[in-house]
Amino acid sequence: MPASSGGSSRDLHPLRRRSAVIVVGLLLAAAVVVLVAMPFLREPVVADDRLDAPTDAEEQRLALVEARDRALAALKELEFDHRTGKVDDADYRELVGPLRQAAAAALRALDSPQE
């Protein structure tokens, strides 16, 4: 009989081990879920997200960048309209010069050293 009681305890040992592995796995999974969810569960920290007012030099540079972008966009649109036939050659020649001059002036102003 002692052999049979030893056999039944051996049968319970793998079952306990399997149960322990499952419990440890569940605890580990719960810990991972909590760790991943923590940033979403915390109360957000209020930070001052106001932007500083641009300086005069920054405002001037922004104005030059906007002027450059407008001139280049107008030039690109004129070229497209000319290629598609919406603007004839005479009108194109009349309009392209001032647009190129405006784009070149804006580029030169951006390239010049700011004080």
Reported pTM:
0.53
Is it the case that residue 112 has pLDDT exceeding 80?
yes
- pLDDT tens digits along 45-101: 777 677 788 899 899 999 999 999 999 999 999 999 999 999 999 999 999 999 999
Angle subtended by helix axes 56-83 and 89-111, to nearest 10: 160
Q: Choose between 13 and 2: higher pLDDT.
A: 13
Of 21, 40, 18, the closest CA to residue 29 belongs to: 21
Of 64, 70, 74, the closest CA to residue 106 belongs to: 64
Amino acid 13: pLDDT: 80
Amino acid 42: pLDDT: 82
Backbone angles phi, psi at 31, to 5 degrees: -65, -40
Is it the case that residue 109 has pLDDT exceeding 80?
yes
- Model confidence band, residue 1 (pLDDT cutoffs 50, 70, 90): very low
**Other residues' Cβ atoms within 10 Å of the Cβ of residue 43:** 5
Which residue is listed with tokens 């109360």? 43
Amino acid 11: pLDDT: 60
- pLDDT tens digits along 7-37: 555 566 878 888 989 999 999 999 999 999 9
DSSP one-letter string for the chain: -HHHHHHHHHHHHHHHHHHHHHHHHHHHHHHHHHHHHHHHHSPPPP---PPPPPPHHHHHHHHHHHHHHHHHHHHHHHHHHHHTTSS-HHHHHHHHHHHHHHHHHHHHHHHSPP-
Q: Choose between 73 and 2: higher pLDDT.
A: 73
